[in-house]
């Protein structure tokens, strides 16, 4: 009897409670990792959209800057990119051809597709050209984002993407020198 009472019982292995706690902690960690991956993907899409918008903005800014003598012809008061224009006639003025081509780029008509449907239309690129001062032109490209944010002050394509908190804009000024003097 003496030997039996002096022995200390040694536990081996894990208890069921320890395993359950480990599973709960691992599950929360995996949920956090999934949320991080989802947010990273959404931010990557936003960055791609912004890069494409900057390219579209630079395209029209270059067109206006290279046609200084007729820069006023780019002011149409129209939000470009809502519909595809298949009639960019060769006989039209340079400004109207530029606007037609830019409209189609905004609509996604120039993307590689086998049919004539736009590829980037779901992104919702829209473009506006305004003149806030003499010889100063503001080119704006707006697009719809998947992530809500603060609605921009610029009115280009306002309410074109449902809730304005989904709308993003990028702008550039083009100053046209007076060529008369």
Is the pLDDT score of 5 beyond 80? no
Is the residue at 159 inside a domain? yes
Domain membership of residue 88 (yes or no) is: yes
Asked whether residue 57 is domain-assigned, the answer is yes
Q: What is the domain range of residue 161? A: 14-175
* Predicted local distance difference test score (pLDDT) of residue 121: 47
Task: Report the share of the chain in percent with pLDDT over 90.
Answer: 43
Q: How far apart are the two ends of the chain, measured CA to CA in Å?
A: 118
Is 150 a domain residue?
A: yes
Please give the distance of CA 4 from its chain centroid, rounded to a whole number: 76
* Element containing residue 144 per DSSP (H, E): strand 136-144
pLDDT in tens, 76-127: 888 998 888 878 876 678 999 999 999 989 988 766 555 555 554 456 799 9
Mean predicted confidence (pLDDT) in 131-143: 94
139-151 pLDDT, tens digit per residue, is: 999 998 888 888 8
> If we measure between CA atoms, which residue out of 175, 170, 95, 177 comes closest to residue 136?
175
DSSP state string for 118-142: -SSGGG--EEEEEEEETTEEEEEEE
Within a domain: 181: no
Q: Assess if residue 180 is contained within a domain.
A: no
Report if pTM > 0.85. no
The pLDDT of residue 147: 82
Q: Taking residues 30-48, what's their average pLDDT?
A: 90
pLDDT average, residue stretch 50-62: 94
Q: Is residue 1 one of the residues assigned to a domain?
A: no
Once rounded to an integer, what is the mean pLDDT over residues 157-172? 88
Interval 15-33: pLDDT, tens? 889 999 999 999 999 999 9
User: Per-residue pLDDT averaged across 24-50, rounded?
Assistant: 91
DSSP secondary structure string, 35-104? HHHHHHHHHHHHHHHHHHHHHHHHHHHHHHHHTGGGGGGG-----BTSS------TTS-HHHHHHHHHHH
User: Domain total for the chain?
Assistant: 1
* Per-residue pLDDT at 138 exceeds 90: yes
């Amino acid at each position: 009897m003496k030997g039996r009472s002096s022995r200390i019982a040694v536990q081996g292995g894990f208890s069921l409670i320890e395993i359950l706690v480990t599973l709960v902690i691992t599950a929360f960690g995996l949920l956090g990792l999934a949320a991080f991956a989802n947010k990273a993907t959404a931010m990557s899409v936003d960055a791609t959209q912004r890069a494409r918008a900057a390219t579209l903005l630079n395209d029209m800014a270059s067109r206006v800057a290279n046609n200084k003598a007729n820069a006023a012809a780019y002011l149409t008061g129209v939000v470009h990119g809502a519909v595809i224009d298949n009639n960019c006639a060769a006989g039209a003025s340079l400004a109207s051809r530029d606007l037609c081509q830019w409209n189609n780029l905004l609509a996604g008509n120039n993307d590689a597709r086998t049919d004539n449907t736009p590829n980037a239309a779901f992104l919702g690129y829209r473009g506006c050209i305004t003149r806030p001062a003499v010889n100063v032109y503001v080119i704006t490209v707006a697009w719809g984002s998947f992530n809500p944010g603060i609605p921009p002050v610029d009115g280009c394509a306002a309410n074109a993407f449902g809730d304005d908190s989904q709308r993003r804009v990028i702008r550039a000024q083009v100053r046209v020198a007076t060529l008369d003097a």
